[in-house]
Amino acid sequence: QQQVKQSPQSLIVQKGGIPIINCAYENTAFDYFPWYQQFPGKGPALLIAIRPDVSEKKEGRFTISFNKSAKQFSLHIMDSQPGDSATYFCAATDSWGKFQFGAGTQVVVTP
Amino acid sequence: DSGVTQTPKHLITATGQRVTLRCSPRSGDLSVYWYQQSLDQGLQFLIQYYNGEERAKGNILERFSAQQFPDLHSELNLSSLELGDSALYFCASSGPHGGGRFAEQFFGPGTRLTVL
């Protein structure tokens, strides 16, 4: 069963738009939530990560919003560019170190 | 280039066979992780080794096994292969400071396994 549910499956936005990807989890033992970016033919790469003691984290044009009570977190890509077109995965892990990944969201940013 | 190398790049084999995938972590990294990526299952964490010892176990089948050697390279052994084992297998490494789960993982380019 999918312990981390990710939506939408795919997303198309125009350049400058703000794609938003949402993830939800049930396991309250999760305490670390990384996001990965994957380009075709490449392995995933860590984009940004958050722990539940903060509600928001920004790194460049990427922002994670975290709602601990709702057990939801989301990725916003500000001022999106065609080079941001990729598949994005949210993930979660607990103190046992087992990583659970969302199903992935394919983002396409059109020029 | 992440600095993590994986061989082979592609592997085609038949059902029932056994294969070995190899991973060399980034220089100085002590942790190695294995992942399976398939179209229907997405990205699945299989197992983590830290400095030669198993650290965390995910959804790894009993037909699969892994080890990390003294030189820190790792191998993932897949046996009694089934059609459903066809997937991309990624190795990632992190460290060198304890390789804890908060450490950034650097992924290799993957090995594409096709089981016919």
Nearest CA in chain B to A40: B109
In chain A, residues with a C-beta closer than 8 Å to the C-beta of B108 are: 43
B97 pLDDT tier (thresholds 50, 70, 90): low
CB B102 to CB A100 under 8 A? Answer: no
Stated as kind and residue range, the H or E segment containing A47 is strand A45-50
Q: Is the dihedral of CA B40, A97, A62, A76 positive or negative?
A: positive
pLDDT at B107 over 70: yes
The residues, ordered by sequence, that sit 6+ positions from B40 with a Cβ below 8 Å of its Cβ are none
**Is B90 within 8 Å of A102 when comparing Cβ atoms?**
no
Of the candidates B92, B101, B109, the beta carbon closest to that of A42 is on B109
Q: Any idea which residue has 């994986």 for tokens?
A: B6
- Candidates A6, A10, A108, A22; CA nearest to A65 is A22
- Within 8 A of A49 by CB-CB distance, chain B residues are 102
Least CB-CB distance to A101: which of B43, B48, B55? B43
pLDDT of residue A96: 76
Query: DSSP letters of A67-104?
Result: ETTTTEEEEEETT--GGG-EEEEEEEE-TT--EEE---
- Looking at the partner chain, which of A42, A46, A104 has a beta carbon nearest the beta carbon of B42? A104
Q: For all residues of chain B together, what is the average pLDDT?
A: 92
Local structure of residue A40 (DSSP, 8 states): T
What does the pLDDT profile of chain A (111 residues) look like in tens digits? Answer: 678 999 999 999 999 999 999 999 999 989 899 999 999 989 999 999 998 889 999 999 999 999 999 999 999 999 999 999 999 999 998 877 788 899 999 999 999
Say which of A89, A95, A99 has its CB closest to residue B58: A99
CB–CB of A91/A38 below 8 Å? Answer: no
Does the CB of A72 have a partner CB in chain B at under 8 Å?
A: no
Residue B71 binned pLDDT confidence (cut-offs 50, 70, 90): very high
DSSP letters of B6-54? EE-SEEEE-TT--EEEEEEPPTT--EEEEEEEETTTEEEEEEEEETTEE
Q: What is the pLDDT of residues B20-67, one digit of tens each?
A: 999 999 998 999 999 999 987 788 999 999 999 998 899 899 999 999
Best of A10, A94, A101, A106 to substitute, by most chain B Cβ atoms within 10 angstroms, is A101
Residues from chain B that touch A95, judged by Cβ atoms under 8 A, are 101
Which residues of chain B lie closer than 8 angstroms to A103, CB-CB? 42
